[in-house]
Structure 1
């Protein structure tokens, strides 16, 4: 039954897959193995489907059960348990249960820092997720006027610190991945006598660190601008704005033409979404600041913003075309 559910899931028939997995879980419960590893795997798939279909409250309930079972079976600090805690925290974040999400992400960070190397990509990923939750908490403080400026600034600064740490880790992993792929390409070229496009293995090596890097840079630009909004002097506002622009332009440099990387990498959907987001953020930043300069500078900024938005539309159109093409096959 579960195998049929997997087939249906891969065919995009998520509701049918959901019902079959629920039936298979009931059978396991009736057989007295509802807390087995087999049951956990099925519940994990069910939670994944529920998240994908927007049934977040149901997903939260399943993920809490998964976490409880794994804590009993493997202990509170096993990496499998921490992965379950991470998944639950992500769902709680989507439900705007930010304090509990923060608590779980902090738990994940502490365990991973003890179990993994200081530059492991999972530590960078957890720092990024924690920083995003922290940013959202600060945003809520601003919206609800529930803290003074110093308190809000301190929360944004905490998010900034975590993002910069995540960026350092991602940059190191990206450079290592680039070096490894370049060495493999040189060896392949020497053997085959011609250049080949990136294979699936090379893409899978490059995508995680690049995606982690551009996501963190994009998020950092937002936090830096929030801090600029809270700055108490024109000089600090100007410096914050410049830093946000620098971060976004660095992000776009990575996405426009990654050094030594073939075109198929920048066409990965997740990276294209970040590309569009960075373009929109930089365009908004330029428009926001155009009235603060001379008339000539304002016109230049507005023209740059229009070009950025045009590029974003082009990427979105390309993504939509490829999606339609894949669905028609």
Structure 2
């Protein structure tokens, strides 16, 4: 649809110029058009709704964001295979929104965090499954036989896996803040998630299409930085858990990745 394509371009201009309310108005019109033209049995409608949801998130309208993302997830589950990478991304978006909702995150109600953790666990499982299958299939083909779409899908799967593990570490830190009598004062769960992020990167980085992707490296860099911050915090650092040498090794790795990203013009802090 030429009309909606131009409207999407206009919405993107509004977003890049920080005119979010105007972008919201255009995106609502696009979704209304798609609902009338194709209904929710179309991925085009789902994507239009997701664009609106992510824009509303920046405006703080978290209740409607959750409703839209949940509807997107239900539609995707009906339209796509259960292990499709779009479902993993949708799960990640929904988990992040649940973690952002301040009215829900309090000492008397940890259920919201538990639901977010369940969503992240599913996202991690789907993304990892996609990666393992994609790398295995590539091993049975010549590299020149791969389509650009296949390569991008593999990169997206690893990015979503790293982002989900990083989000899981943030969730565990939020949980520690809310628990008065924590049984895990050093937050080993958050550390484990970040180390899992780093391990996942190293597990798949030998695949050239992944090691050369700036977006993948940028997410790996964030995991490294968050782990250094966690281990450097006085509340989480102890001599028997993280030696100065190990911490310095992580810092050296951060510098190495930052240099690589700066050369590719993909630096991210």
The answer as to whether partners of 2:194 and 2:223 remain within 8 angstroms in 1 is: yes
Q: Judge which range, 80-89 or 198-207, deviates more.
A: 198-207
Give the structure 2 partner of residue 84 of structure 1.
Answer: 48
- From 29, 40, 46, the equivalent of 2:10 is 46
**How far 1:303 sits from its partner (Å)?**
4.4
- By percentage of residues, which structure has more helix? 1
Give the structure 1 partner of residue 28 of structure 2.
Answer: 64
1:150 aligned to 2:108?
Answer: yes
Aligned length: 266
> Which runs of structure 2 are paired with 1:1-329 in the superposition (5 Å)?
37-137=1-101, 140-141=102-103, 148-151=106-109, 153-185=110-142, 200=148, 203-238=151-186, 241-256=187-202, 258=204, 260-262=206-208, 264-288=209-233, 293=238, 296-297=239-240, 300-323=242-265
Q: Which has the larger radius of gyration?
A: 1
| Contiguous gaps of at least 5 residues in structure 1 | 1-36, 189-195, 325-329
- Measured in 2, the distance between the counterparts of 1:100 and 1:201 equals 32
**How far 1:164 sits from its partner (Å)?**
0.4
The answer as to whether partners of 1:284 and 1:305 remain within 8 angstroms in 2 is: no
**How far 1:234 sits from its partner (Å)?**
4.5
- Measured in 2, the distance between the counterparts of 1:120 and 1:127 equals 11
**Aligned residues: CA RMSD:** 2.7
Residues 1:122 and 1:245: Cα distance change in structure 2 (over 3 Å): same
**How far 1:119 sits from its partner (Å)?**
1.4
| Contiguous gaps of at least 5 residues in structure 2 | none
The answer as to whether partners of 1:128 and 1:166 remain within 8 angstroms in 2 is: yes
- Measured in 1, the distance between the counterparts of 2:235 and 2:26 equals 49
